[in-house]
Structure 1
Amino acid sequence: MKRLQLQRWSSTVLSPRARTSNRLHQHLCSSSLRHQSTVAAVQESTPELKYRLNNAHKRSANLQYPSPPVNAALDSAKLASLHARLYLPSRLPLQTLARTLVDASADSNVDFNNESLATLGHDLLTYYTSEHLLCTYPRLPLSVVFAAMYAYVGPKTLAAMSKEWGVDLATLPGGEVDPGYLQFKRVPPGTVLDAETEQNGKRKNWRKTVTSKVVYDDEFGDPIKGSSNSSVGVPAELARATSVRALMGAIYLHAGRPAAKLFFEQHFLSRSLNISQLFNFSQPARDLTRLCARENFEKPVAKIISETGRLSRHPVFVVGIFSGQDKLGEGAGASLLEARERAALAALKGWYLYSPLNVRVPSSMEEEGASPWNPAHVDLGEVIS
C-alpha cells in the first residue's frame, strides 16, 4: 500500500474554515516578520530617529515663546546668509543679528526685542547724516536739510534698504519661526494709522514755519507722533525701518565706532542723491535780491545774453543775472520772464550748494592719529522771506 502524499491534495480537501485559518496564520507570520524587520531598521537608524525626535521636541517647546529662542539663531541658514551678504563684522554674533529682526510688537520683552538697539541706531544714523550734510553743504536751507535727511535715513528709505538686503517677513511671529525672518505683529485691516487727524479731516498740528519745525518737530521736520500701541500691530514699513536702525546700533555695540561708521558710509552715503532737485523757491528773483543786499553785493540785474526766434512759435531767450561785473547765474526759457526766473534760481543754487574743498566731520576726530581740527564753515543761514 502506497503512502498518501498529503502535500498535494491537503489544500483542496481541507474545509474552508481550515483554509481561512491557514491564510490568517500566514498573514500573521508575514506581518510579524515585517514588524520585526521595521524594528530592526529603526534600531539601526537610532541616531537619525533621535535627531528627528529632538527637533520635534524643540519645535513643540518653542511654541510657548513669542519669538524664536536665542540658540535657534545658530541653526538658521537665512540668518547666516544675511550676515555674509551684508559683510557684517565677525564680532557681531548671529544671536544679536536675530534680535534685530524681532519687533516690539512681536515680543514685548525688552531683553529679546530690538527696541533698545533701534533707539541707539536711530541716534547714530541721524548724527552721521546731519554732520555730513552740514559740513559738506554749510549753506543749505533748513527745509532742504530736512528733505535730504529724510531721503538718506527716512523710514521709506530704510524699508527699501531692508527689501534690497533680502529680509523676508514672517506671516505671524512665534517661537517656531526661523530667526532669519522679520518678526512683527501686523496691523489689522481697517486700522487708522494717522493719529494726527481729527474726525472732520483737519490736522491737529497746523504749524508751518521752519522755526516751529526746529523747536517742536523731529529730525525730518515732521510733527512728533505719540508712542504707538505695539500690541495692536505696526505697519510692515515701520517694522523694516526699525530693524535697520537696530542693526546699526548692534554693529556699534559689538564692533565699535569705526565699524559702524564704515557700515554707514557703505550702505547709506553711497546712495545717489541729487540735492539740487530738493530746492523749491516760490520767488527766486526776490530771494536773490535780498541775499545780495545781506551780503553787501551790488543789486542783481538781468541781462539778455542771446535770443533766437523772437517772432516765431518757439522762441528761446538766454538771460544772465549779474551783480556788477560778476555773473551769478544763467537760464534759458521760452519767454524773458521764464528765463529770468531760471537764471535767478541757478544763482541761488550756486550760493546754497557751496561746498568746502576739504570736508571733515566732527566724528573724524575720534579716529587714531587724526590731524588737528579746523573749524567747519558756519554760514549766516538762508534768506528769511
Structure 2
Amino acid sequence: MKRLQLQRWSSTVLSPRARTVNRLHQHLYSASLRHQSTAAPLQSEPQDASIGTNFEDPEVMRQVRSAHKRKSQLQYPSPPVEAATNSAKLAALHARLYLPSRLPVQTLARTLVDASADPNADFNNESLATLGHDLLTYYTSEYLLCKYPRLPLTVIFAAMYAYVGPKTLAAMAKEWGVDLAAAPGGEVDPGYLQFRRVDPGTDVNAATDDVKTPRPYANAAKWRKTVTSKIFYDDEFGDPIKGASAPGEGVTAEQASATFVRALMGSVYLHAGRPAAKRFFEQHILSRSLNISDLFNFSQPARDLARLCARENFEKPVAKITSETGRLSRHPVFVVGIFSGQDQLGEGAGASLLEARERAALSALKGWYLYSPLNVRVPSSMEEDGASPWEPAHVDLGEVIT
C-alpha cells in the first residue's frame, strides 16, 4: 500500500527528471538485493532500456553515481583506498605532523584503521603497528641505556613506559588532533580513527592478570617479581604479558590510539627510511620532558648506599651534620651530609636528623645512578651516512640487588 502511495505521489508531484532519478534508485536497490551476497561493488551503471533514462543528462548521471557510490561503500568494513585522496582531514593530518612527502595518504589512512574495525590484514594497521612497536622500544631502550648506564631495571621500565607507553601514545594522538569515529564503516571519512569499541560493562583489565608462561614453567608467576623473571616473562615495560584479544572483540580508545601511533612510526620507516623514522622519534618522543629522578623509590636508602660503597670498595659512608637551625624551636631544620672518607656523596635537609640522613642517602644514590657520560652516542647512529667510528658505550656493573 505504501509503495502504491509513493508511486502515486511521485507521479503527481515530482518533475520528470526527479521521477527518472527515483526509478534509477529503485533499480539500483533491486540490483543490490540480487547481488548482496557478493563483497565487490557494482562495476558499471545499469543499462536497462525499460527505465527510459536519458544517460546523456550529466545531472542525472551525477546523482546516479553518487547513489551508487554510497551503496557500494556500505559493503566495506573500512573506507576504500581511493577515498583517502578526497579526505580533507587526512591531508590536514599529513601536513600537521610534517610527514615525509614519500608517505602517501593511502598509507596514512590505513594507519587509522584498527584490526577490530577491519579484520583483513591487507587493510588494517596491525602489521604496521608491529613494526612501529619494535622501532619505538628499540630507540627508547638504547637511548636510556646509553645516556643513563647505571639506572636500575625497574627505573628503566618506568622510563620506557613514560616515553612509549600506551597512555603516552594515546595522549600524543589526541594532541595531534586525531578524532575518533563513532563506529567503523566504509562510508566514514578516512581521516577518523576507526575501531570497534568494547561492549559496555566489559572489564578491560581482566586479561592483565594472566601471564603467558611455557607449560614447564607454569609456576613462574609465583616468582616473577625477580629480575630474571621480569626479563623473560614481562613485556618491555615490566608488566605481565597480556593475552591477545580474540578476533571480533572491541578495544578501548586508548589501545586504538596507541596502535595508530605505532603504525604511523612503522609507515614512516617503510616509506621514508631509517633517517626519517629516527627524526620522527626524536621530534615526537624524545622531545617530551621526563624527570628521571622522580622515578626512584628506595625503601631503605641508607642500607642501599652502604652496600653500594662496599661493592665499589669505597670507605663506609658516614652521616655528619653540616648545619642546623632552630633545634629547640617548633620547626627545626637539620642539614646532613653523607661522606665517604673526604668525599661528600650527598646532602639532605629535614625536620629531624633521621629524615635529613635519609634524604642525604637518597641524594647520594641518585647521584650515582643518574650518571651520564659526555657525548652520548647510540648504536643506531652508525646507520647514518658519514658516521664517525664507533666507540664502545659505557657498561656499568649494574644495580645493587637488595
TM over 0.5: yes
Pairing 1:348–2:365 present: yes
Correspondences of 1:243-282 after superposition (within 5 Å): 243-282=260-299
| 1:197 Cα deviation from its structure 2 partner | 4.4
Give the equivalent residue in structure 1 for 2:46: none
Deviation at 1:195, TM superposition (A): 1.8
What does residue 291 of structure 1 align with? 308
- Which residue matches 2:382? 365
Note if 1:144 corresponds to 2:155. Answer: yes
Q: Alpha-carbon deviations, 1:159-181, whole Å to 9, x = none? A: 01011111111111111110111
- 2:311 aligned with 1:311, yes or no? no
Aligned to 1:240: 257
Q: What's the TM-score once normalised by structure 2's chain length?
A: 0.83
Aligned counterpart, 2:215: none
Higher-Rg member (1/2)? 1
Q: 1:37 to 1:224 in 2, by over 3 A?
A: closer
Q: Are the aligned partners of 2:209 and 2:240 in contact in 1 as well (CA < 8 Å)?
A: no
Query: Is residue 324–residue 332 contact of structure 2 (8 Å, CA) maintained in 1?
Result: yes
Query: Which residue does 1:11 correspond to in 2?
Result: none
1:360 and 1:311 mapped to 2: Cα distance? 53
Equivalent pairs, count: 347
Corresponding residue of 1:195: 207
Alpha-carbon displacement from aligned partner over 1:175-209 (angstroms, at most 9, x marks no partner): 111011111111001122222449xxxxx945322
Q: CA deviation at 1:210?
A: 2.4
Coordinate RMSD, CA, aligned: 2.2
The CA distance in 1 between the partners of 2:360 and 2:349, in whole Å, is: 7
| TM score, norm. by length of structure 1 | 0.86
State which of 154, 162, 171 in structure 1 corresponds to 2:173. 162
Which residue of 186, 191, 195 corresponds with 1:184? 195
Deviations along 1:134-164, one digit per CA (max 9) or x if unpaired, are 0000000000000000000000000010111
Q: Secondary structure at 1:212's aligned position in 2?
A: helix
Q: Which amino acid aligns with 1:224?
A: I
Distance (Å, rounded) in 1 between the aligned partners of 2:240 and 2:61: 57
Q: Deviations over 1:264-318 (max 9, x none)?
A: 0000000000000000000000000000010011100000000000010000000
Percent identical: 80
1 CA distance for matches of 2:347 and 2:81? 62
Moved over 4 A (4+): 34-39, 45-49
In structure 1, the gaps of 5 or more residues are 1-30, 199-203
1:37 Cα deviation (Å)? Answer: 10
The equivalent residue for 1:3 is: none
Aligned-partner SS, 2:302: helix
Cα distance in 2 for partners of 1:35, 1:226 equals: 61
Deviates more, 1:160-169 or 1:46-55: 46-55
Query: 1: distance between equivalents of 2:17 and 2:147?
Result: 78
Unaligned runs of at least 5 residues, structure 2: 1-11, 20-53, 211-219
* Displacement after TM superposition at 1:54 (Å): 2.1
Per the TM alignment, residue 49 of structure 1 is displaced from its structure 2 partner at its CA by 4.9
Partner of 1:26: none
